[in-house]
Structure 1
Amino acid sequence: MKTEWLKKAVLGLMAGSLLLVGGAGSVHAQDEIVIGGNLELTGNASAYGAPAAQALEMLVEEVNAAGGILGGKQLKAEIIDNQSDLTESASIATRLADSEAVGIIGPTATGVTKAAIPVTNRAGVANIFAASTGDGLTLDESGSVLEYIFRVCFEDSYQGLAAGTYASKELGFKKAYIITDQALEYSMALADAFTETFTRNGGEIVGTQAYQSGDTDFSAILSGLLGQDLDLIYIPGYYTETGLIIKQARELGITAPIMGGDGYHSETLMELAGKENATDIYFTTHFSLEDEDPKVQTFIQNFEAKFGNKPDTFSALGYDAGSLLVDAIERAGSTDRDAIQKALAETKDFAGITGTFSIDEQHNPTKPTLMLKLEQGEVADIQEASAE
């Protein structure tokens, strides 16, 4: 569901389908360093791509205001709308790979991302994904790492691993019931990963149930939980269904804690569940407005001052993707694509908005998730959660 601010953001970002952000002059000027953006400004994934594009725009302005990079060169972002379309994504990846861009940010949606990967990796230009969380995106079919493919978000299954560990070790839960969306690969991946670490740490899965994307009546599933001996209900799904499940569970008198993944991270979850029902709700995510880290709060203030609304998870991840590329250019001391790729692969302890991370051997970030706890629909606690 698009909010009004997102609609305004898309209109503001689009000048045709191309947005140039940075200093004056041609994108080929020798005193400018160009980074590409293959992002979803329109289409069904614009809720991910448009906020990331905003964050990239803000980052470029900040870098240039601070004196630029590599001894004063101005930074320019060439952001092109892939319209949330696979064919368009591949075409834009080719266009940017053939341009002066020293690296590329995006796409943000996993499906659209898959269309760009073969193009950019073959061309030998570093491609950083902000929010494409699908498992295995940085690997080829044989399991070998794709040399020029990186991301700053954790994989889907990692959230499940972290949740299972947190539920067992930090919360001390012993018995969990799992409800999955059988039509959603995301849901199944999180559930399998949760089961792995929860049972490894001595927990027991006491039952499972499944629903289908688009369902609205969960009474049959939830009635089966009444009287069950359980400590936790793990429901890894999207807010469209999980908001209704939370509401119906609480109205049936089911008070057990409910846990899920970043699919919960939407104000719409609260609208569907009702704030009075959203108590003892836990979910893993990448970013929180309530994070007290001064760096995070400065980012939030700057973003709100520029765009008139608070940033979301995709804004924060987009900012981190762009910042990581800028950092790699500085560490490489060059705009040579191979040198930048090497610097990215060697990243250690990068201090991002979504956490401090290194890039591992599979080109994924090594960082904990955030575990948010809701009470009466408000964030009551934030803790780090890892798979260890």
Structure 2
Amino acid sequence: MAKKFLVVLLLIVALVSTTFTGCTSKGPSTIKIGGIGPVTGEASTFGVSTKNGYEMMIEEWNAKGGVLGKKIELVFADDKGDPTEGATAAQKLINEDKVVAIAGTVMSKVSLAIAPICQSAGIPMVSPTSTNPKVTQVGDYIFRACFIDPFQGTVGALFAYNNLGAKKAGVLFDNSNDYTKGLAEFFRDKFNALGGTIVAFEGHPAGTTDFTPFLTKILAGNPDVIYCSDYYNDDGLMAKQARQLGYKGPFLGGDGWDSPDLVKIGGDAVNNSYFTNHFSKDDQRPEVQEFVKKYTQKYGQAPDALAALGYDAMGLILQAIQNAGSTDGAKIRDALKNIEYHGVSGVIKFDENRNPVKSAVIIKIENGQQVYVTTVNP
């Protein structure tokens, strides 16, 4: 009889314990957001700036109580600028870390490896800076915070032809990189359409450090401008080597030029260069100047466009979660589709391909400093 009573008592205790636990459990105490960027490798300054932007935005939201009443946790992975590394990072973030969305990544070639993984898993992805049009074409869970290369290449060509008065242009690019090759092609096509002449369209292999053979072909055509669509590390070398060959004209490029290391690599050779970009620290909008002030205080230098776009990409994700009232992937995706986000890089609303319609700025390198020139609207 005593044994029977003990068994019944234990069952009652277990039932009460289970009921109590079920009523008081609130699930995870944090919401995990994945962040991916190349903090090492060929575009490491891009990755560091972008990561800083992610962190700043999350810190600001957490200081106000987080999202949906929970603190936000950034789980960051270094893709090293390599598509295989990026794919591995995305799979870990989704399958092991259980993130509800991913901000990333920077380079288009890596985003193109990550996007199918996010799409298949139903995890919203917002790339801060991948400008190749193919990225968001992967599927309806893939978004970006930046303008795309057809617009950027067109703006560059218009500036070269109308503002610089260039009638002949040479083009040099990495023919193994989706970003640099695509941007070069968009510039070429628009420059030709305007009535300009492309004297040479030169693609170089990845890893090239001696650009002299390609530059020699370009300079033989006596160009008024040289368009270099590579990242800053190559662009700086190209400029130095072109100057050594006697070229005195302007260089023009895309957002891949935006790095403090550009001048370190290219020195005086990059003066009298222009590039299209997403953001200027000299933009006098109050929200921009507040961002510049806070970023500079925290990191000891002014933000570049990568930092601004990382900040906005993370802001888009967090605002979408708040608007959706949920961490469900499909609900976050739908909230992103309908969002109007006022970021430091501009007002972001998505078109049918989940690309933002937004303006570009032209930056000039003058005495080793970035100088704002103008804003170009779409």
1:233 to 2:226 alignment: yes
Question: In 2, Cα distance between the equivalents of 1:151 and 1:110?
Answer: 11
Pairwise CA distance, 1:62:
1.0
- C-alpha distance in 2 between matches for 1:267 and 1:288: 14
Of 296, 305, 313 in structure 2, the residue corresponding to residue 321 of structure 1 is: 313
Structure 1 residues 358, 182: closer, same or farther in 2, change over 3 A?
same
Determine the structure 2 residue equivalent to 1:76. 72
- Counterpart for residue 271 of structure 1: 264
Q: Does 1:215 align with 2:217?
A: no
Q: 1:156 and 1:322 mapped to 2: Cα distance?
A: 22
Identity %: 36
Question: Shift in Å at residue 293 of structure 1?
Answer: 2.9
Amino acid at match of 1:356: V
After superposition, the Cα gap between the structure-2 partners of 1:278 and 1:359, relative to the gap in structure 1 and judged at 3 Å, is same
Q: Does the 8 A contact of 1:130 with 1:317 survive in 2? A: yes
Q: Which runs of 4+ in 1 moved over 6 A?
A: none
Alpha-carbon distance in structure 2 between the residues aligned to 1:382 and 1:235 = 19
Q: Aligned to 1:304, what secondary structure does the other structure show?
A: helix
Displacement after TM superposition at 1:295 (Å): 1.7
The residue number in structure 2 matching 1:93 is 90
Q: Distance in 2 between matches of 1:206 and 1:126?
A: 43
Residues 109 and 179 of structure 2 are in contact (CA less than 8 Å); yes or no, is this contact kept in structure 1?
Answer: no
**How far does the alpha carbon of each residue in 1:24-78 deviate from its partner, in whole angstroms, 9 at most, with x for none?**
xx99435x444333445556665443433332222122112234444xx133123
Deviations 1:203-261 (A, max 9, x none): 33244445544233527734863683x43222222333332332343455433222112
Q: Answer yes or no: is the 8 Å Cα contact 1:161–1:190 preserved in 2.
A: no
| Distance (whole Å) between structure 2 residues aligned to residue 347 and residue 185 of structure 1 | 28
- The aligned residue for residue 16 of structure 2 is none
Distance in 1 of aligned mates of 2:221 and 2:118: 54
Q: Taking structure 1 as reference, are residues 64 and 240 closer, same or farther at Cα in structure 2, changes over 3 Å only?
A: closer
The answer to whether the 8 A contact 2:169-2:196 is kept is: yes
How far the C-alpha of 1:364 sits from its partner, in A, is 1.6
Q: How far apart are the structure 1 equivalents of 2:163 and 2:92?
A: 48
Q: Distance in 2 between matches of 1:207 and 1:53?
A: 37
TM-score by length of 2: 0.79
Are the aligned partners of 2:129 and 2:309 in contact in 1 as well (CA < 8 Å)?
Answer: yes
Equivalence for 1:381: 372
Residue 300 of structure 1 is matched in structure 2 by 292
* Cα deviation, residue 362, structure 1: 1.1
Which amino acid letter does the alignment assign opposite residue 35 of structure 2?
G
Q: Offset of 1:94 from its aligned partner?
A: 4.1
Partners in 2 of 1:257 and 1:172 — Cα distance?
11
Q: Which amino acid aligns with 1:305?
A: Q
Q: How many residues align?
A: 351
**What is the match of residue 131 of structure 2?**
133
User: 8 Å contact 2:104–2:128 — kept in the other structure?
Assistant: yes
Among 240, 243, 247, the residue aligned to 2:240: 247
Shift of 1:188: 2.5
Cα separation, 2, equivalents of 1:149 and 1:86: 17
Relative to its length, the structure with more helix (as a share) is 2
- Distance in structure 2 (CA, Å) of the matches to 1:337 and 1:239: 35
The alpha carbon displacement at 1:339 in A equals 2.1
Partner SS for 2:263: helix
Change (3 A) 1:33 1:196: same
Contact (CA 8 Å) 1:86, 1:115: kept in 2 or not? yes
Aligned mates of 2:116, 2:221 — CA distance in 1: 51
Q: Does 1:59 align with 2:57?
A: yes
RMSD across aligned C-alpha pairs, in angstroms? 3.2
- The question of 1:117 aligning with 2:108 is answered no
SS of residue matched to 1:136 = coil
Unaligned runs of at least 5 residues, structure 1: 1-25, 141-145
Alpha-carbon spacing, 1:151–1:367, altered in 2? closer, same or farther (3 Å): same
1:356–1:211 distance in 2 versus 1, CA, 3 Å = same
Equivalent residue number for residue 281 of structure 2: 289
Contact 1:282 1:371 in 2 (8 A): yes
Cα distance change on mapping 1:261 and 1:169 into 2, 3 Å: same
Q: Is 1:29 the counterpart of 2:28 in the alignment?
A: yes
| TM-score with structure 1 setting the length | 0.77
CA distance in 1 between partners of 2:344 and 2:308 (Å): 6
Q: Please list the CA deviations of residues 105-139 of structure 1 after superposition, one character each: whole Å capped at 9, or x if unmatched.
A: 22333344334323321222211122333340112
Q: Distance in 1 between matches of 2:40 and 2:238?
A: 30
